[in-house]
Amino acid sequence: MTSQDGFETLAIHAGQEPDPLTGAVVPPIYQVSTFKQDGVGGLRGGYEYSRSANPTRTALEQCLAALESGASALAFASGLAAEDCLLRTVCSPGDHVLIPDDAYGGTYRLFAQVLAGWGVSHTVVAMSDFAAVRAELAARPVKMVWVETPTNPLLNIADIRALAQAAHAAGAMIVVDNTFASPYLQQPLLLGADAVVHSTTKYLGGHSDVIGGAVAVADEALATSLAFTRNATGGVPGPFDAWLTLRGIKTLAARMDRHCRNAMRVAQMLAEHPAVAEVFYPGLAAHPGHKTAQEQMRAFGGMVSFRVLAGEAAAVATCGRTRLFTLGESLGGVESLIEHPARMTHASVAGSPLEVSADLIRLSVGIEDCDDLIDDLRQAL
Ligand SMILES: Cc1ncc(COP(=O)(O)O)c(C=O)c1O
């Protein structure tokens, strides 16, 4: 592969040269824990033990690095394992991190209930409010700015380029959780971010059949430190999970195009529906982050959230009435999902600054026939 190759080409070929031994056109699943050494320390291709490295995982990592235009990428057992490894590699007890006021609940729980006890403190700030972030950066030394864009579940947009400049000027590093956009829609490293994290469970895997995570970085030295921590702490994906993720990635571009088209139509329908109070989708011209999203994203993604006029009970009832939108946590698979964030994915932020409104419904719009999806939502509402 060359750096001139387009995204779709890289998704199918980067890290995936036909197997030199057999010519197998997709990387085999190296379901193995250890590798024969040719004499003590005589490793073949650098492989020794699958916690340190495994060829199927290497293929996935090379592909992820290419898709994020990074120097390197590392795969993990889950998105949260990726986040934890990055945070404990970069931060030390006593460091301070700025985190979003709207983010995946599990990310907030990691900061508030795990890293806080470890001595890493945080301030919650709206990353879409650039002036507020600048003020927080000026208020104290900050080690890291953690950004999610679009956010889960409110689809807020942060200006990655502006935040990267401000963070770097203040001596902080900037990390972007790119799970909602996927590298097909947005490449934060090219906008100045130092690291990108993913729950590959979502759009990258794409089929709701595997849990995984990744970190892609601009700087090889950081990748080396991350590899050390990951080997020392052990949060690696198994070979079959790496293989499933890599297989999903091959169709990422085609799936995302369809997710984006369907989500835009769903958002437009909801915006006109009499039972709906407010729609959150960065593709709508009325969304406060629409212009920034247009500048830094190829399209607006497959996630749509909305508030129902009749309140919490109506939101919960709506989630139980859909036929095609399956009631469930997670997102980014080919099948449409519906959920109630306050009681499901974001239950862990109840009572925190990230608490979400109880009349909110979140949709992961899949790639089914969009007329069917719209009919389903209409009858449920
Ligand atoms: C934006 C975002 N980041 C990170 C995660 C955590 O990923 P995982 O569930 O793979 O640990 C999620 C999970 O929903 C997420 O939505």
**The ligand 1 atom nearest the CA atom of 200:** 10
Q: How far, in Å, from the CA of 78 to the mean position of ligand 1?
A: 8
pLDDT of residue 1: 61
pLDDT averaged over every residue in the chain: 97
The type of residue at 379 is Q
Residue 106 Cβ contacting ligand 1 at under 6 Å: yes
The protein residue whose alpha carbon is closest to atom 6 in ligand 1 is 79
Q: What is the set of active-site residues?
A: 51, 104, 177, 202
pLDDT at 140: 97
Q: Using one digit for the tens of pLDDT, what is the confidence trace for 210-268?
A: 999 999 999 999 999 999 999 999 999 999 999 999 999 999 999 999 999 999 999 99
- Residue-by-residue DSSP string for 251-299: THHHHHHHHHHHHHHHHHHHHT-TTEEEEE-TTSTTSTTHHHHHHH-SS
Which band of pLDDT confidence, cut at 50, 70 and 90, is reported for residue 4?
confident
* Residue 181 CA, ligand 1 centroid: distance in Å: 13
Query: CA 67 → CA 22, 145, 190, 330, distances in Å?
Result: 26, 23, 11, 22
Query: Which tops the pLDDT comparison, 3 or 189?
Result: 189
Residue 174's alpha-carbon distances to 66, 253, 298, in angstroms, are 20, 26, 21
Residue 2 has pLDDT above 90, yes or no: no
CA distance 269 to 364: 15
Structure-token pair, residue 268: 């437009």
Helix, strand, coil share (%) of the chain residues, nearest 5: 40, 15, 45
Residue 3 pLDDT? 65
Partnered with residue 144 across adjacent β-strands are: 97, 173
Q: Is the CB of 47 under 6 A from ligand 1?
A: no
Residue 273 has pLDDT above 80, yes or no: yes
Identify the pLDDT of residue 73: 98
Ligand 1 mean position, distance from CA 199 (Å): 5
pLDDT digits (tens, 9 = 90+) for 17-26: 999 889 999 9
Question: Nearest 5°: phi and psi at 367?
Answer: -110, 25
Expressed in angstroms and rounded, the spacing between residue 198 Cα and the centre of ligand 1 is 7
Strand-pairing partners, residue 175, are: 146, 195
Backbone φ and ψ for 180, nearest 5 degrees, come out as -70, -35
Mean pLDDT of 65-90: 98
pTM over the 0.95 mark: yes
Which residue's alpha carbon is at the smallest distance from atom 14 of ligand 1?
Answer: 330
Atom of ligand 1 nearest to the CA of 330: 14
Q: Could you tell me if the CB of 78 is within 6 A of ligand 1?
A: yes
The 8-class DSSP code of residue 347 comes to G
